[in-house]
């Protein structure tokens, strides 16, 4: 049996993050470990599962999903996952994945090469949801792929923000790619896969468990250059991801919240105990992941519409709200540009597709630039 076949079998019979198996693969190779499980036979659970395993049904399910299985050494395998080898276990889990199941148009290795994780509470507040959405959108517009876990709350907000940016995102799932969890997020996952990629350690058909969520968290931390925590109570899966990021010596950042909110407890504690850097904008996150603490330079090929605006045009454009709308008179006051000039500039910006006027003769940004708006599907 070759390496790929062995890793395929191991990914189907061994729970993600099983440290002993991962260590054995690192020392002896996947083929030898698989043969060892077959020799065990009925003497233990893994041996029984290995002997009963048949790859054909799994591969048929994967083919129906247009999913692919990648292993170390493949072009799409992110090399930074190797840092999980020898990493101290968290909640008894550790180790490099046997392989990864991928679905979507994106290239995982390429996207993970410039990526930031945005994670937090499932039961988030509107404040946390807005912050996560806007951070993800701004990070994506800066060329960084946003990685999260596909759950309700902060994860979903981060994915939505990523979807309206110019950079595809990544969702790490705790179930097989055909088992959308939560089920209401199937439309969200489909949208992510259009340009980005869905990732799972588990083969198609497998359902999520608590341990599998914890195992997923180590991948979120390992794939990314930084983990940003937005809202988390005392006990939170986001805190588990931060623990992994710290163990892997990744950058950890946290967004402050209202002192009256229970969901501010963990971010504030991390900041107070110097486990995380306080951040409030995508620009501050980019400083943390850029060489010498400097903001990442935009690629030479990237040209923003605002680069062509003059000083007065830029002041008027920046006065247009991200949410809601304002009259020309209000924009004139906000921008400090006299009303007559403001009206001319708004007409020019409308001609360029940079602003819109509604039925009340008020001005707003086009939908793609209104980063905090929910996408038109139920998440």
**pLDDT the model gives residue 294:** 52
Burial state string for 71-84 with b = 16 or more CB within 10 A and e = fewer than 16: bbeeebbbebbeeb
**pLDDT the model gives residue 292:** 57
Structure-block tokens of residue 355:
């602003």
Give the sign of the dihedral formed by CA 118, CA 121, CA 123, CA 125: negative
Output the CA angle 147-148-154, nearest 5 degrees: 130
Structure-block tokens of residue 117:
């994780």
Give φ, ψ of 198 to 5 degrees.
-100, 140
**pLDDT the model gives residue 300:** 47
Distance CA 42, CA 219 (A): 32
**pLDDT the model gives residue 308:** 78
β-strands 100-103, 115-120: how paired?
Answer: unpaired
For residue 150, which of 216, 202, 243 has the smallest C-alpha distance?
216
**pLDDT the model gives residue 305:** 72
Give φ, ψ of 347 to 5 degrees.
-60, -40
Structural domains for the chain: 3-53 (no CATH), 79-293 (3.40.50.450), 305-369 (1.10.10.10)
Residues in Cβ contact with 47 at an 8 Å cutoff, skipping those fewer than 6 apart: 37, 38, 39, 40, 41
**pLDDT the model gives residue 366:** 83
pTM of the shown model: 0.77
Tens-level pLDDT at each residue, the chain (379 residues): 689 999 999 999 999 999 999 999 999 999 999 999 988 866 788 888 889 999 999 999 999 999 999 999 999 999 999 999 978 888 889 999 999 999 999 999 999 999 999 999 999 999 999 999 999 999 999 999 999 999 999 999 999 999 999 999 999 999 999 998 999 999 999 999 999 999 999 999 999 999 999 999 999 999 999 999 999 998 777 889 999 999 999 999 999 999 999 999 999 999 999 999 999 999 999 999 986 555 554 554 456 677 778 888 988 998 888 677 899 988 888 888 899 898 999 988 988 889 988 888 899 888 754 433 333 333 3
């Amino acid at each position: 049996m070759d390496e790929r076949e062995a890793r395929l079998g191991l990914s189907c019979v061994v729970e993600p993050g099983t440290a002993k198996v991962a260590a054995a693969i690192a020392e002896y190779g996947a083929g030898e470990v698989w043969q060892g499980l077959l020799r065990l036979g009925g003497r233990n659970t893994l041996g029984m599962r290995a002997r009963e395993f048949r790859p054909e049904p799994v591969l048929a399910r994967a083919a129906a999903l247009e999913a692919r299985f990648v292993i170390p050494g493949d072009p799409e395998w992110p090399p930074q996952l190797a840092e999980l080898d020898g990493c101290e276990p968290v909640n008894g889990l550790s180790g490099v994945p046997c392989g990864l199941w991928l679905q979507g148009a994106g290239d995982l290795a390429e996207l993970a090469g410039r990526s930031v994780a945005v994670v937090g509470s499932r039961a988030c507040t509107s404040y946390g949801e807005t912050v996560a959405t806007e951070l993800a959108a701004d990070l994506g517009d800066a060329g960084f792929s946003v990685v999260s876990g596909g759950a309700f709350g902060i994860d979903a907000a981060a994915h939505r923000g990523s979807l309206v940016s110019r950079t595809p995102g990544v969702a790490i799932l705790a179930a097989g790619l055909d088992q959308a969890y939560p089920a209401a997020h199937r439309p969200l996952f489909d949208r992510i896969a259009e340009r980005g990629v869905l990732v799972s350690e588990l083969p198609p058909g497998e359902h999520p468990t608590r341990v599998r969520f914890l195992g997923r968290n180590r991948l979120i931390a390992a794939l990314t250059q930084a983990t940003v925590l937005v809202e988390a109570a005392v006990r939170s899966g986001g805190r588990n991801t931060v623990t992994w990021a710290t163990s892997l010596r990744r950058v950890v950042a946290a967004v402050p919240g209202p002192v009256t909110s229970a969901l501010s407890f963990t971010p504030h504690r991390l900041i107070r105990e110097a486990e995380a850097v306080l951040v409030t904008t995508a620009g501050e996150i980019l400083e943390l992941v850029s060489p010498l603490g400097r903001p990442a330079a935009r690629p030479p090929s990237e040209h923003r519409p605002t680069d062509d605006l003059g000083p007065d045009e830029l002041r008027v454009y920046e006065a247009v709200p991200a949410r809601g709308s304002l009259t020309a008179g209000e924009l004139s006051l906000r921008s400090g540009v006299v009303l007559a000039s403001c009206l001319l500039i708004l007409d020019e910006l409308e001609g360029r597709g940079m602003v819109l006027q509604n039925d009340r003769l008020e001005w707003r940004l086009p939908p793609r630039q209104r980063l905090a708006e929910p996408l038109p599907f139920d998440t």
